[in-house]
Structure 1
């Protein structure tokens, strides 16, 4: 907040100066409370036009969504006696009232939901002093969410001083104003990185007002939740504009995955040195090594760095220049061209890097019509891509769009995405250029987080990551690999009604398997074993056809690696044994698909939300289905908890009438994603009791009433 420096010592030793900065370096970026207001600081040296711009913004934006504050006026309202009394206070008292003023603004805007725009001073620096006197407080750092700095040329500011006859200002040279500005910009950048505050210079190109309006309108609505929602919308639009609903989608990182180059590094090498924020050769390196890490806030800050470096035309020209220096790996170009010929396979680039660069690279390769890019770089892009966004988009493809996902990435930022995908490929570049932190993060993901992945080494003579047992090698051009990407996959039961009911009634295998289950002399453990075999058979013979299978790498007995097969989304499958008659058969199903979750349920309410969250399929297992009433109650309960999860019912015997005209038949017709697998359909409507009840026979309780 604004103040003068009469009683403060020179240099940077005040309570509001380096002592705060030194403390801040130990802080990680802290998540804002849910009700924290968006408070934007408007800084600049005296005479740079803060008050004039604040009035312009008030007229342009109105005060429904925004509230505008002049810092000195706010201090006057909280200090008894106003500014005159404030000037007579000691330094510690001044700090107290500065803090009170910003706290008041923060609370008002938290209560109203408005975005606050606060014009004030960061430091004062009389020309005769060796160093400036900062006047910000810790509360400013805790309250501001964004800071805009008016980067007006010192010559222009000096002229403003001469033209402003209404104010009396000390004489200040252009050289001193330039030094003052540079000190403020340097310190503000550093403080903002350490306190999770988004910072941007606002230059007069084309005008201060235009730039500030663009940024403030963005700050008004942009949150992490909004960002994810927009990314999901872009993904949905990408699929809609394609050739049809794909069965398989490739989700690919871009930089150092599709090509050896990092487009961000190339961009900053080509940007004029005078435009690089803070004078850094690569500002992104400084940003991502700060306490912000690779957070949502960090990527938003990266966008602001690009914004202040170039206007739209300059940015587009730089992107075109960078794209000309990017060479996609020939293996990916070949694979993507094959995908372009298939309606059932799609591809999307989800990049933390520059969307504008990768669209131009794809255009050059003739792939821009079939491969779309979800990424950012500019405020106009609307979004930023984080590791969490990548993972969420894979989950959306699998859930909302019911697609099989291959993911390709090279760095720790891709690990969440790779772990979510049905098939994960780690792209490994030349050793000197690859991510230095990936090995440890990858090892942890494989050992502790259940990641199953393979690696593609590009170029082929580069050394692999880890070892090829833990991370098996593949060749992107290998025919078997290409076929596994391009193959047709089993459609869901809601799409192919003909596979809603599958049974083995007339098969010889069914006749052999059903015999001990119908033999009155067989009970107890022997009968349970017979039901176990039925469950294993039905899962192996039919469940794989209903749900589909997927490849995964295995070590061949002859010492090399080959492909194995398992149920599609096996790790995201829940087997529910309908107690007590369904348990033995459910255990047989579990033997066939051992990675699945196993749940006991005597009634629908035994199935809880946590049994379904993150899951792709629920398999309900019972020994006998008569009318189907119990099964339908379970289905309805599951649908209330999870509207889209696939449900497959497995049973030993199902009354034929229940699937031809009963309530179970109606459920099969009405509930999308519901299928039934049975050993046999029976016209016998007899319901067992006592010695004929399957549950009693399974557990030797036929003698009980």
Structure 2
């Protein structure tokens, strides 16, 4: 073992035992001028143990002056060109080694290498972990929400290539480097070994730190902001947000917070739309794709908001998947994310992401199939109403779906309320309701998939069925749910069908490989029975989508109580009903739905 290897391992042990940060100074390379290449002096242990490296990028003329002033040592003369070549080699090789070994690297130049700045970086290195990073981002989110107490719905928007077509990170480096070559270091960073990891985004922050001091950075951000043009469709939408107390908007960006704050300020939206993002050490955190997803989950599960998310790239998929409504922003083919189609398809197939797409500009080519990823226009009345309508209690449009007031629903519910109808005719009425709810609402919630069918004229054509229909399970909650469940089964002929007297009747073998479980009952009163089924299923499979289908849902059950609480905390649970009812009278004897369905009203 070399002395250098022994030294760094000893320092590591001391740091672990004491809980202190170790600061080590040393050389990376020696390069006598007469030799053709430098000789690195690091060891493999250095690359395994170091977590951060600060390179003191001292001007060559200052190094020469210091060598000349050092009369205590006899140093060989070295030319300015050779020292510059030596420095360039060290910086290039260190960047490469650091990125391939998960080490954060930062240059400290004469302009940026003040003692205060170096100390601030070292203090940040000491406590900044991925968990700490997330806690800082969540704290910032909570601060924003504290100032908006009446919000029921939150729009969460990505910045680059979503809110506007421009990539502000790329614009920043083009502005900073001007006419120089290789003006997109972020592309090389994120395309390298670090990918889009927490470490990669932290490295990006250090690149911004080494490029400009605070004043220069702010000047560059201002210049970039002038080149950003927010899509007119989003400007109109955010102006509507500005006029509402119950709807808020946030830009959550992996890019530069300061740029987007200046963009929104120019549009007169800085008080309406807050920005959560990073770019500098003093921002306290970086925004990764995982952070985006966690913040949307916090908005939904902790702050109990209905979340509408907009994004354009794979980094936005965690956020889109966690939202109540997900909208993929699709730009021009030559500028939009090339990897999004594949990542989006995977999220839709494996994670059951339900999303729509908006084309900005409107002539852009859609992504994937418009059947699986429907087109919307964010300035049309239907979408605006879905976002801006007040939300009473937990009756959010995407979690509790019902047809109350629908003319078809009025026709379908009439025989179920007619005291003269019972037995087979009532069962047929319930079966028709099950078919209607499955075809009219369940398909919108879960989505459709295409498959090939033989056409009556002899050729092959496209057919449609529920997404992952063969991997769906229909559970008839006996006995009242059976007729309606048969109607659901009529609409989904490939789905497995199961009778269940109680939760234990749903076994692990029934859930194996299933993507959607459909619990069907005629009436949901307090919701306790449904919740017991949900809790039992969750002990077997935590990720499966569960949809409750019922003819009548008591309004109070989805606004307060055990079912309402379960809806808040289980984002993979939805309720579909023919109608909501404020009538809290539970059926008994001749009014009990099960008795009427099976002509047992005469039994005690």
SS in 1 for 2:121: helix
SS in 1 for 2:22: strand
Alignment pair present for 1:250 and 2:152: no
Which of 124, 136, 142 in structure 2 is aligned with 1:230? 136
Alignment pair present for 1:184 and 2:113: no
The answer to whether the Cα contact below 8 Å between 2:55 and 2:107 also exists between their aligned partners in 1 is yes
Alignment pair present for 1:427 and 2:333: no
Q: Describe the shift of the 1:652–1:482 C-alpha distance in structure 2 as closer, same or farther (beyond 3 A).
A: closer
The answer to whether the Cα contact below 8 Å between 1:339 and 1:347 also exists between their aligned partners in 2 is yes
Query: How far, CA to CA, are the matches of 1:553 and 1:123 in structure 2?
Result: 61
The answer to whether the Cα contact below 8 Å between 1:122 and 1:135 also exists between their aligned partners in 2 is yes
1:117 aligned partner: 23
Alignment pair present for 1:452 and 2:360: no
Scaled by the length of structure 2, what TM-score is found? Answer: 0.73
The answer to whether the Cα contact below 8 Å between 1:145 and 1:198 also exists between their aligned partners in 2 is yes
SS in 2 for 1:463: coil
1:383 aligned partner: 285
Which of 378, 382, 389 in structure 2 is aligned with 1:487? 389
1:63 aligned partner: none
Q: Give 1 or 2 for the bigger CA radius of gyration.
A: 1
Instruction: Report the Cα offset of residue 684 of structure 1.
Output: 6.7
Moved more, 210-219 or 109-118: 109-118
Moved more, 395-404 or 100-109: 100-109
TM-superposition CA deviations, 1:182-238 (whole Å, max 9, x none) = 111110001111111110012343544222211111111211122222222222222
Moved more, 467-476 or 628-637: 628-637
Show the 5 A alignment for 1:243-282: 244-246=150-152, 248-272=153-177, 280-282=182-184
2:410 aligned partner: none
Instruction: Report the Cα offset of residue 489 of structure 1.
Output: 3.0
Which of 206, 221, 237 in structure 1 is aligned with 2:127? 221
TM-superposition CA deviations, 1:239-271 (whole Å, max 9, x none) = 22126222x221111111111211111111111
Show the 5 A alignment for 1:50-65: none
Query: How far, CA to CA, are the matches of 1:364 and 1:597 in structure 2?
Result: 56
TM-superposition CA deviations, 1:594-624 (whole Å, max 9, x none) = 9x9999684799999xx9xxx9x99896989
Which of 257, 271, 280 in structure 2 is aligned with 1:355? 257
The answer to whether the Cα contact below 8 Å between 2:474 and 2:489 also exists between their aligned partners in 1 is no
Instruction: Report the Cα offset of residue 365 of structure 1.
Output: 0.3
The answer to whether the Cα contact below 8 Å between 2:433 and 2:484 also exists between their aligned partners in 1 is no
The answer to whether the Cα contact below 8 Å between 2:156 and 2:308 also exists between their aligned partners in 1 is yes
The answer to whether the Cα contact below 8 Å between 1:455 and 1:473 also exists between their aligned partners in 2 is yes
The answer to whether the Cα contact below 8 Å between 1:472 and 1:553 also exists between their aligned partners in 2 is no
1:108 aligned partner: 14
1:478 aligned partner: 380
Query: How far, CA to CA, are the matches of 1:165 and 1:597 in structure 2?
Result: 88
The answer to whether the Cα contact below 8 Å between 2:190 and 2:196 also exists between their aligned partners in 1 is yes
Query: How far, CA to CA, are the matches of 1:463 and 1:302 in structure 2?
Result: 32
Q: Describe the shift of the 1:576–1:602 C-alpha distance in structure 2 as closer, same or farther (beyond 3 A).
A: farther
Structure 2 unaligned residues grouped into runs of 5+: 397-403, 405-412, 451-468, 569-574
Q: Describe the shift of the 1:111–1:597 C-alpha distance in structure 2 as closer, same or farther (beyond 3 A).
A: farther
Which of 244, 264, 272 in structure 2 is aligned with 1:342? 244
Query: How far, CA to CA, are the matches of 2:223 and 2:124 in structure 1?
Result: 28
2:32 aligned partner: 126
Instruction: Report the Cα offset of residue 134 of structure 1.
Output: 0.4
SS in 2 for 1:349: strand
The answer to whether the Cα contact below 8 Å between 2:252 and 2:277 also exists between their aligned partners in 1 is yes
Which of 200, 203, 228 in structure 1 is aligned with 2:109? 203
2:62 aligned partner: 156
Q: Describe the shift of the 1:597–1:380 C-alpha distance in structure 2 as closer, same or farther (beyond 3 A).
A: farther
Instruction: Report the Cα offset of residue 272 of structure 1.
Output: 4.1
Instruction: Report the Cα offset of residue 358 of structure 1.
Output: 0.6
Q: Describe the shift of the 1:429–1:682 C-alpha distance in structure 2 as closer, same or farther (beyond 3 A).
A: closer
1:401 aligned partner: 303
Moved more, 673-682 or 181-190: 673-682
Q: Describe the shift of the 1:487–1:670 C-alpha distance in structure 2 as closer, same or farther (beyond 3 A).
A: closer
The answer to whether the Cα contact below 8 Å between 1:394 and 1:420 also exists between their aligned partners in 2 is yes
Query: How far, CA to CA, are the matches of 2:13 and 2:139 in structure 1?
Result: 34
Paired residue total: 545
Structure 1 unaligned residues grouped into runs of 5+: 1-92, 495-501, 556-570, 660-665
TM-superposition CA deviations, 1:323-376 (whole Å, max 9, x none) = 011111111111110111111211111111111111000000001111111111
Query: How far, CA to CA, are the matches of 1:312 and 1:638 in structure 2?
Result: 54
Over the residues paired in the alignment, what is the CA RMSD in angstroms? 5.3
Query: How far, CA to CA, are the matches of 1:667 and 1:305 in structure 2?
Result: 51
SS in 2 for 1:352: strand
Moved more, 578-587 or 310-319: 578-587
The answer to whether the Cα contact below 8 Å between 1:581 and 1:698 also exists between their aligned partners in 2 is no
